[in-house]
Structure 1
């Protein structure tokens, strides 16, 4: 079967959701002015009295109305908590994304020391492991990853596992790496599941178990990991650890190619070109081959060269075909059939193809 890609170190970046809550302040309505006191009662003449009516008593003067009370000032907004006390603040990740690694280091250190934030610990491991804002220090990186892993952070577990496999920050410890990968995968880390699947596949660190490898690849593939999708596609294509199923293989290749996995793009293009496990579509196949060729896949470059030489799926263009063939040969991928097909090019066309190939190689 196709040899899968070797395990590569992948250091996950932490993310915190940036939450914001709207503040609503209610201002109490102004106080209503008190009503004036009623005037004193007026005497009325007794209709049965024979005496002359007495003059009316003057009305008691009203007191002036009290001025309205000023409206109560809104309560001041509460002071914002320090960053390390607010789990929704993503100042650390924001600084990291902008390349402000010294700021990231300071903020992450504060969160790790005062808030015991495991994601900040993983970030500190990342910074020390990759010399971002601080000198590279594998031992310190491993120490921070260990603290994050002990606190239950799946990314810290994964990063420490990869360091243990590579012997960075300490001696090689495959047994510890396997345990860390298993714990990280159990917490839903697709990269951990993918790399653990490769260990079950190669049969060196762990006894080879193709079925268990396929199960782990399926976990990672379902989580959207394109490398796992491509690897599981090859399992279904060849019947490794799973029943052979071309249709499932092609669907996985399609998913991985949509995520820009170059190997999947080439395999899916070939399936489209031949109509294997999917309706035949030469135009779409050639478009994918062009994309993969520009991503420097020698296999795609030679496949595209064959299409351009034969004119099946695209107009004949032997100069362009020879250009891609020369580029692929420079990367160590020859094709005797293309050598023969292009041998009859005129010196002028060959010179054009060679110049185009040099320009492409020089632009990389």
Structure 2
């Protein structure tokens, strides 16, 4: 007697092909069918599609529903995605305890990125008591598997003596491993070390070389470091125009410290002409994104500006927040 493959398996293959072609609207009903039938891969992908708004409107709650089903069935990828969802996804209440729980599940299965996230939680006390020894342990596990984020943070631990004795030789070795994978923060760390002679001889040429590599990064955290360096004249000559440009790039990707920095620059005329409208806009954005000092700055600006001018700045901020970047 001839056997035939289950229909959902055929549909799932078709869904994968459509997804790879970017035909998300055609793929999603096939993923939905397979997910309802309990297919882990389909549940995981469906959760991602809801999270990203691919083939459907973005829906954080549905993303969590389907990703949770896959995670509970043991999908390491879904566990990692669920940890990230609770760490900050539109439509999902931030919950550091739940985030850490799912990251730990994935980390226990050996996922290097999850191990890095668990280390980060222990380092910052997010969802758990701060524990630098545990953070060092998790960063070490992640770094050993070649994860650039783990390597960089292990380097930071060695450089600062967090959870381990300070050892710049080991710090630099880990920074270099991460930098060679293109991680901008690590490239910047090597630039600083070469400029200051921290663990290596002072080498201005090498410092600038690593700096320029970091300057090409699309990571907003690295762009923020580059912006500060240009504003302060660190490693490279001071250039406020370039500094503001890098702050703006990072701010456009949701980097809250860069958003606050732009507000500060325009409020105080530091590196640019004083502009209360721009200051108000960026401080309101930073406040919306959760910067702890932005609220007080917004109130200060409100008292300084004419009501109609402040309302205009608030409208600019609202427009910015509603525009995809």
TM-score scaled by length of structure 1: 0.57
2:227 to 267, 286, 298: 298
Structure 1 runs of 4+ aligned residues shifted over 6 Å read none
Task: Find the residue that maps to 1:271 and give its secondary structure.
Answer: helix
Task: Find the residue that maps to 2:127 and give its secondary structure.
Answer: coil
Greater RCO structure (CA 8 Å; 6+ sep): 1
Q: Deviations over 1:47-79 (max 9, x none)?
A: xxxxxxxxxxxxxxxxxxxxxxxxxxxxxxx99
Give the corresponding residue for 1:104. Answer: 27
**CA distance in structure 1 between the partners assigned to 2:205 and 2:4 by the alignment:** 57
Give the corresponding residue for 1:126. Answer: 48
Give the corresponding residue for 1:326. Answer: 241
Contact kept? 1:140, 1:169, Cα under 8 Å: no
Which sections of structure 1, spanning at least 5 residues, go unmatched? 1-77, 309-320, 340-363
Instruction: Return the offset for 1:157.
Output: 1.5
Map 1:31-42 → 2, pairs under 5 A: none
Contact kept? 1:232, 1:252, Cα under 8 Å: yes
Contact kept? 1:292, 1:300, Cα under 8 Å: no
Give the corresponding residue for 1:238. Answer: 160
Kindly tell me: are residues 122 and 326 of structure 1, through their superposed partners in 2, closer, same or farther at Cα, counting changes over 3 Å? same
Q: Does 1:155 align with 2:155?
A: no
Kindly tell me: are residues 121 and 198 of structure 1, through their superposed partners in 2, closer, same or farther at Cα, counting changes over 3 Å? same
Question: Which structure has more helix as a fraction of its residues?
Answer: 2
Kindly tell me: are residues 157 and 278 of structure 1, through their superposed partners in 2, closer, same or farther at Cα, counting changes over 3 Å? same
Q: Does 1:206 align with 2:128?
A: yes
**CA distance in structure 1 between the partners assigned to 2:242 and 2:89 by the alignment:** 36
1:220 to 118, 126, 142: 142
**CA distance in structure 2 between the partners assigned to 1:277 and 1:255 by the alignment:** 16
Instruction: Return the offset for 1:193.
Output: 1.8
Map 1:54-133 → 2, pairs under 5 A: 81=5, 84-85=8-9, 92-93=15-16, 95-114=18-37, 116-133=38-55
Higher mean C-alpha deviation, range 173-182 or range 89-98 = 89-98
2:191 to 259, 262, 269: 269
Task: Find the residue that maps to 2:86 and give its secondary structure.
Answer: helix
Contact kept? 1:293, 1:300, Cα under 8 Å: no
Instruction: Return the offset for 1:91.
Output: 5.8
**CA distance in structure 1 between the partners assigned to 2:193 and 2:243 by the alignment:** 21
Contact kept? 1:273, 1:280, Cα under 8 Å: yes
Task: Find the residue that maps to 1:156 and give its secondary structure.
Answer: helix
Larger Rg: 1
Give the corresponding residue for 2:283. Answer: none
- Matched residue count: 243
1:192 to 110, 114, 133: 114
Contact kept? 2:207, 2:235, Cα under 8 Å: no
1:288 to 210, 213, 220: 210
Contact kept? 2:96, 2:126, Cα under 8 Å: no
Give the corresponding residue for 2:60. Answer: 138
Which sections of structure 2, spanning at least 5 residues, go unmatched? 218-222, 248-260, 266-270, 272-324
